[in-house]
Structure 1
Amino acid sequence: MTITASGDLTMSTLSKLKKAALAAAIGLTLSSHAGLTVAAEEWKFALEEISGSVQDAYAQKFKQLVEEKSAGDINVTVYPYGALGESEDLTELVANGVLQFTHGSTGILGSTAPGMQVFSVPYLLSQDNQVNLKLLTESPTIYGPIADKLKTRNLRLLSMYPEGAMVWTTNKVVRKPADFDNVKMRVMASPMLVETYKSFGAVPTPLPYSEVYGALQLKMIDGQENPVFAIEEMKFYEVNDVMTWSGHQQFTVAVLSSESWYQGLPAEQRKIIDETVDELAPYIFETQATYNNERLEKIKKAKPSIQLVHLNEAEQAAFRKASQPMRDKLVDLAGPEAGAVLKALEQEISVLEQQ
């Protein structure tokens, strides 16, 4: 099917109308809620994930700390996945000031800040999460050039954190790139991820998240990658027999606010946000580890036959070597700005690992 230029304009207009209607509906709903609690100012925090997720743990702790620090003058309302729209909708609503906070995936944010695409590069982050804690909360590259790019879309980057190591689920043991031959691995619709799995030797297959379980069950795909908590929530272990920790990546998200809204707050309220975000950094690193460990135990209990594979250093090195071309591919797909960010972050990680 060919879409004409006028068709493109019509689709774009419909998309804008849809977003405007969503924002208006949310505004009316939130106004009615606010009217019930006029004594407290309401801040709205929307999630990309469901209640009980790692993102929910972050938002609930954020809510607790902000309400305590403001002595009840501020009420934080947390909206789980789907309540106010999809991931792209939430980012747009924060940028437009309809919502105050959300989580943003690096893939979605990469269209505004190309440097965000570096988090799709395999084996970028350290194997030591204490190093990653410092990097993701203090990096002059992340909170300099990357954050500045996001500000052009009225997005303020408050923090970043990992939700857990990306784990492969398959029906065969994969210990070297050759083992991925003819294995159809589900990936998000990201050019970087598609190229990554090509470099690993697999057959990357973009597919919506909601369709993964059925596709695994029907053998349309052979495997997928996600943190352990997501594998347990979505029951992917029921239709795959092997879980593999390759060390290639962690699922990393950003915590966002509206830049203009933040700058318009009284100094004492900006201080509450900054202090809360600083306090949450070590908390969420520990919490995600606990969540993933607990969910792994649930998987092992539900399916005692599940095979757990941890690649050793030599095995990881083979995948690391195979994915080296992704450094150049990043520049091809995201531009020289992303390449400069990659070099800067690799240097920062190297320094942190030596400390």
Structure 2
Amino acid sequence: MRNFSTLKKVALATAMGLVLAGQAAAEEWKFALEEISGSVQDAYAQKFKQLVEEKSDGKITVTVYPYGSLGESEDLTELVANGVLQFTHGSTGILGSTAPSMQVFSVPYLLSQDNKVNLKVLTESPTIYGPMADKLKTRNLRLLSMYPEGEMVWTTNKEIHKPADFENVKMRVMASPMLVEAYKAFGAVPTPLPYSEVYGALQLKMVDGQENPIFAIEEMKFYEVNDVLTWSGQQQFTVAVLSGESWYQGLPADEQKIIDETITELGPYIFDKQEEYSKTRLEKIKKAKPDIKIVHLTPAEKDVFRKASLPLREKLVELAGPDAGAALKALEKEIADLEKQ
């Protein structure tokens, strides 16, 4: 009995050792999202997971955490900077507090109406991946990529065709100084609120409207509590893909290569995916609420809003400093040059 017991203990210890060795060999990377499962960010993270696990032959596993699992956007960037998480998405409005130049993406009508141009700019811009990325490194954040999740659409209970239509309209915005100023320039009453509180605030008439890409409007059911969808062409919801700078630099060269290759492959993929999401989600909204009003501003109407936003160039420098002003000019030139090609 004693010999059997000893053999049993040895076998158990050996098995435990194999399990622990297996656990040690299986490297896990955690990727947290600002959005729920089924969102554009989720599509990005799931494709990232697939590619990384394939390229590493299963030696690396990626766990995706949807919105609400680990905290709000501000919490996620902190967790990445502190090494608790390996990857997250960061809204440019949120990142503006760390890298003030990121607030340029809150300036209306900055990005091109041509997404081929935007793909080139958001994945290769020397302005974005030079001084702007360097500023994020001071917070131990590495900027891996950027992409748009779709054109921002206004949801309201009345039609908006000109700035005067925004009078006394309380528009929910992210807690970004530039977004607040943008909606002041448009004539609205900007009201910062966390994403999770928007539906309830619309339902209780605490705010009158909000802006988001169409896929988010569908998945968060904002169309249930607003009656008009307006495409103004003024902005795309742009997000950054982030990792920890010190964590990335501490990786072996082959793992850095896996990340870099995956990020490069995901650029064209996510641009196509977000366009697909926008089309399918709009159809879902129309089916769920057939009487919803769809408004597309005319070029002349867009031009009025564009002119109303021009003073924001100076406001950007006032709020975010001269580096942000320089970044804006550089990006505008990059975009203009690409549009001529």
Structure-2-length-normalised TM-score: 0.92
Indicate the larger mover: 176-185 or 333-342. Answer: 176-185
> Matched residues in 2 for 1:220 and 1:77: separation?
37
Q: CA deviation at 1:146?
A: 0.5
Contact 1:34–1:42 (Cα < 8 Å) also in 2: no
In structure 2, the residue matched to 1:3 is: none
Q: Give the partner amino acid of 1:179.
A: D
Residues 44-83 of structure 1 mapped to structure 2, 5 A cutoff: 44-83=30-69
**Are the counterparts in 1 of residues 172 and 209 from structure 2 also a CA contact under 8 Å?**
yes
Name the SS for the 1:160 alignment partner: strand
Contact 2:93 2:174 in 1 (8 A): no
User: What is aligned with 1:300?
Assistant: 286
- Deviation (angstroms), 1:217: 2.3
Give 1:273's aligned residue: 259
State whether residues 93 and 175 of structure 2, in contact with CA within 8 Å, keep that contact through their aligned partners in structure 1. Answer: no
1:172-226 deviation digits (Å, cap 9, x = unpaired)? 1111112112222122222211111111111222223223222222333221111
| Structure 2 Cα separation of the partners of residues 114 and 223 of structure 1 | 26
Residue 232 of structure 1: which of 209, 218, 230 is its match? 218
Report the alpha carbon displacement of residue 34 of structure 1 after superposing the two structures with TM. 8.9
Tell me which of 164, 167, 177 is aligned to 1:178: 164
Which of 249, 252, 255 is residue 263 of structure 1 equivalent to? 249
Matches within 5 A, 1:55-134: 55-134=41-120
- 1:336 equivalent in structure 2: 322
After superposition, the C-alpha distances for 1:17-37 in whole angstroms (9 at most, x for unaligned) are: xxxxxxxxxxxxxxxx99874
Greater shift, 139-148 or 231-240, is seen at 231-240
Q: Does 1:211 align with 2:175?
A: no
Distance 2:146 2:157 in 1: 33
Q: Which secondary structure state, in structure 2, belongs to the residue aligned with residue 247 of structure 1?
A: strand
- Provide the rounded CA distance (Å) in 1 between the counterparts of 2:92 and 2:209: 22
Partner Cα distance (1:248, 1:36) in 2: 51
| Counterpart residue number, 1:21 | none
Q: Structure 1: any 5+ residue segments left out of the alignment?
A: 1-32
CA distance in 2, matches of 1:321, 1:36: 61
Which secondary structure state, in structure 2, belongs to the residue aligned with residue 277 of structure 1? Answer: helix
> Aligned-pair RMSD on alpha carbons?
1.5
**1:231–1:34 Cα change, 3 Å:** farther
The whole-number CA distance in structure 2 between the counterparts of 1:302 and 1:324 is 38
- The amino acid that maps onto 1:166 is M
1:111 alignment partner AA: S
* Residue pair 2:94, 2:175 contacting (<8 A) in 1 also: no
The 3 A distance-change label for structure 1 pair 179 and 144 is same
- Whole-Å Cα distance in 2 between the matches of residues 255 and 34 of structure 1? 32
Q: May I ask how many residue pairs the two structures share in their alignment?
A: 323
**Structure 2: how far apart are the matches of 1:198 and 1:34?**
58
- Counterpart Cα distance in 2 of 1:189 and 1:264: 33
Task: Indicate whether 1:188 and 2:174 are aligned.
Answer: yes
Q: Distance in 2 between matches of 1:36 and 1:175?
A: 61
Give the Cα separation in 1 of the matches to 2:184 and 2:113.
23
After superposition, give the CA deviation of every residue in 1:248-294 in whole Å (9 maximum; x if it has no partner).
00111000011111111111111111000000000001111111211
Between the two proteins, what is the percent identity of the paired residues?
A: 82
Any idea what SS the aligned residue of 1:178 has? helix
Q: What are the superposed Cα offsets for residues 153-172 of structure 1, whole Å, 9 maximum, x if unpaired?
A: 11110000011111001111
Q: Which has the larger radius of gyration?
A: 2
Cα distance in structure 2, aligned partners of 1:221 and 1:35: 54
For residue 143 of structure 1, give the secondary structure of its aligned residue in structure 2: helix
Q: How does 1:316-331 map to 2 (within 5 A)?
A: 316-331=302-317
User: Which residue does the alignment assign to 1:286?
Assistant: 272
Query: Bigger CA drift: 179-188 or 328-337?
Result: 179-188
- Which whole-Å deviations, capped at 9, do the CAs of 1:94-147 have from their partners, x for residues lacking one? 111121111111122112211101001000000111100000000000000001
Consecutive aligned runs of 4 or more in structure 1 exceeding 4 Å deviation: 33-36
| CA distance in structure 2 between the partners assigned to 1:82 and 1:166 by the alignment | 22
SS of aligned partner of 1:225: strand
* In structure 2, distance between residues paired with 1:101 and 1:277: 12
Asked whether the equivalents of residues 155 and 230 of structure 2 are also in contact (C-alpha less than 8 Å), the reply is yes
